[in-house]
Amino acid sequence: MTRNIMFQAATSSAGKSTVTAAVCRHLARKGLRVAPFKSQNLSLNSFVGSDGGEIGISQAYQAWACGVEPRTDMNPVLLKPKGNGMQIILDGKPFCDIDHQTRIDRNELLSHVRDAYERLSKDFDIIVIEGAGSPAEVNLRDKDIANMATAQMLRAPVVLIGDIDKGGVFAGLYGTYMLLREDERSMFKGFLINKFRGEEDILHSGIERLEWEMHCPCLGVLPYERLRAPAEDSMELGNHGRWASSDGDMREIWSRSLDDFLDRIEPHFDLNRLERLIEEGI
């Protein structure tokens, strides 16, 4: 039976894609068959696989972290900004163009998400799922398919990531938790504090309070580490170096960089506890 884990975040650019890739790499290095999954991605950059299907670029790199080739099932719904609207890529192929007035059948999109996940689950032991933005955008609750809708449909335990580098990490994590419904809160099985610079001792009292308030453990305080990774959205463009021109070079550089990154954060990340969460499921 395929198991899973999902990473969501209190804000955009908190490190979901990077943490997802690192966990994919960690599990793959243990000999497990692992795949990434992001039900819906909004990305300026995309990747075209060998089958001609298009997915968010972060899922391609996460697939390489797993030691497998990217598949369209790893990102069944891709939204690409286009003029004053966006283009929907569904199962790797252009589906339609939309603007802010367009109404899309949410249930139809969720059915594609479920089908893509089920196809992946036939070939992999663990699927590491990445959310999008924040699950607490209450104004978008009826439209969001990438966060709690996916977690509940796929019965995925959720780990919430907070970015301490921008400040307000405890309020961000707890506020996200409290803005969700009670049945959604029960899906949270842990949280991570990411991009920390300093001595972890100063965070202990805050972490203890948050563990008590959120009824789940802190899985780590990850240090601020730079990972050479592809820019996915406007918050990240310009923050990364140039990549080599060929896919082969990109994959090799990425793999080496990710291994180094994982080695640096592993002492700060309770990966054994994370593996138990995956094993226990929901």
Q: What is the pLDDT of residue 49?
A: 83
pLDDT attached to residue 252 = 84
Are the C-beta atoms of 24 and 62 separated by less than 8 Å?
yes
Residue 232 has a pLDDT of 54
Neighbour tally for 140: CB within 10 Å: 13
Q: Which CATH number fits domain 3-40+109-273: 3.90.180.10, 3.40.50.970, 3.40.50.720, 3.40.50.300?
A: 3.40.50.300
| pLDDT tens digits along 75-103 | 999 998 887 888 899 999 998 887 776 77
SS (H, E, C) the chain: CCEEEEEEECCCCCCHHHHHHHHHHHHHHCCCCEEEECCEEECCCEEECCCCCEEEHHHHHHHHHHCCCCCHHHCCEEEEEECCEEEEEECCEEEEEECCCCCCCHHHHHHHHHHHHHHHHCCCCEEEEECCCCCCCHHHCCCCCCCHHHHHHHCCCEEEEEEHHHCCHHHHHHHHHHCCCHHHHCCEEEEEEEEECCCHHHHHHHHHHHHHHHCCCEEEEEECCCCCCCCCCCCCCCCCCCCCCCHHHHHHHHHHHHHHHHHHHHHHECHHHHHHHHHHCC
Q: CB neighbours (10 Å) of residue 51?
A: 11
Percent of the chain with pLDDT over 70: 92
pLDDT at 245: 43
Look at residue 244 and tell me whether its pLDDT is greater than 50.
no
- Domain boundaries of the chain, sorted by first residue: 3-40+109-273
Mean confidence (pLDDT) of the chain: 89
- pLDDT over 70 (residue 248): no
Q: What percent of the chain has pLDDT over 90?
A: 71
The whole-number pLDDT of residue 117 equals 97
Q: Is the per-residue pLDDT at 188 higher than 80? A: yes
* pLDDT digits 0-9 by tens, 105-120: 889 999 999 999 999 9
Is pLDDT above 70 for 247? no
Instruction: Between 8 and 251, name the one with better pLDDT.
Output: 8
Beta pairing partners, 82: 85
